[in-house]
Amino acid sequence: MTASSADSPHRRKNALTGEWVTVSPQRTKRPWQGDEAAESEVTGVTYDPDCYLCPGNTRANGLVNPDYSGPWAFDNDFPALFNEIGPNETGRNERGPDEASLDETRPADALSDAAAEGQRAATAADSLFCSEPVSGRCRVLCYSPDHSKTLTKMTEGELSAVVQLWSDEVRQLRKQYRWVQVSENKGAMMGCSNPHPHGQIWAVNSLPTEAVKESTMQAAWFEAQGSVLLDQYRADEERSGERMVVATEHWNAVVPYWATWPYETLLLPRRHIDHLDGLMDEEQVDLACLLKSLLGAYDRLFATACPYTMGWHGTPGAESLPDWQLHAHIYPPLLRSATIRKHMVGYEMLSEAQRDLTPEVAAEQLRQAISTAN
């Protein structure tokens, strides 16, 4: 990046999606008279008798949670998607990290004849009203039995157990569904409806919009350059260091050159990996260390339990693809403080994403927040 672009408006291309973002660094000095949200409340109780996710409590559908002592997963009681047999009403799909496997469901491409015919009709080239059937499975992952123990508060061992559960879930779901999305929404500002530390997995039989964009760009780069796009990008960021936030033996966390959200980060492994189920033991442990450091930096930077959306993107389907690289996106909404958030409105919604703070400045602030913990 040139010195002039650090101070002047410019656009940056997202190599992973093909989209552009406008950067306006001169706007960081503008006074703020806009919306200020209430600071997030942090729960201090280890058990809430009214929480649907705490051990031993009864959920909204009448099922009783087991007295789990570590990370635990179950089928969502109110799923956004149904598999072929409809929503789970028996509780038989609930399991902890030590159980053998998920219950079998149909293969991702095994649509019924009627559904397949409807899909072909809906995607006709002359149709302005396209639709197609979608099925899948929605899982809830409780990170801890402790109602107050977010990922930031966990020990590295407890975080490693969460990473292991991610891996176990992905390993089973990839056999059956084309796209497996591991995600977490933390904090009311990100729409989280239950403060108990938890994440979700949506496994679907189709390739969603963001996956299509990333798949297209990675495949095109591989065909043109003969290298893995995100592996090349990681190596370039390592050499530059401008946007590097955390570098460990097996992982890097950077504020991407094309970041849209002010303090967005991208997590990249230092070798080619398809999905979370491909992590070696030492990579799982190292990832837990990185997450503890990075998420803690967010909390210190904003002096609050920083809200965010975090999600993992891995290879679609069960087979390895030479151009795809595992990575995670972390999107904190905060802009200037714990109560001032970035809003995507106006020009951002109607024309193109825009940011004021440069990714380089954001990375430096996150590095400083990490250094204060050492």
Alpha-carbon gap, residue 272 to 222, rounded angstroms: 13
Residue with tokens 């230092």: 270
> Rounded distance, CA 41 to CA 286, Å?
30
Cβ(192)–Cβ(312) under 8 Å?
Answer: no
Nearest to 76 by CA among 210, 206, 194, 178: 194
Instruction: Tell me the C-alpha distance between 129 and 155, whole Å.
Output: 50
Closest C-alpha among 270, 217, 205 to residue 20: 217
Measure the CA–CA gap between 293 and 291, rounded to whole angstroms: 5
Active-site residue identified among 147, 196, 198, 327 = 198
Element at 357 (helix H, strand E): none
- Please provide the size of the chain in residues: 374
Is 198 catalytic? The answer is yes
Instruction: Count other C-beta atoms under 10 Å from residue 98's C-beta.
Output: 9
What is the separation of C-alpha 109 from the centre of its chain, rounded to a whole number of angstroms?
25
As a whole number of angstroms, the distance between CA 360 and CA 254 comes to 10
CB neighbour list of residue 71: distance below 8 Å, 6 or more residues apart:
96, 97, 141, 142, 143, 144, 161, 162, 164, 165
Task: Tell me the longest C-alpha to C-alpha distance in the chain.
Answer: 62
Q: Dihedral of CA 264/270/275/281: which sign?
A: negative
- Reference 177, options 107, 88, 91; nearest CA is 107
E-state strands within 251-339? 251-254, 265-269, 308-313, 327-331, 334-337
Q: For residue 32, give the 3-state DSSP assignment.
A: coil
Structure tokens at 299: 């909390």
| Active site residue ranges | 198
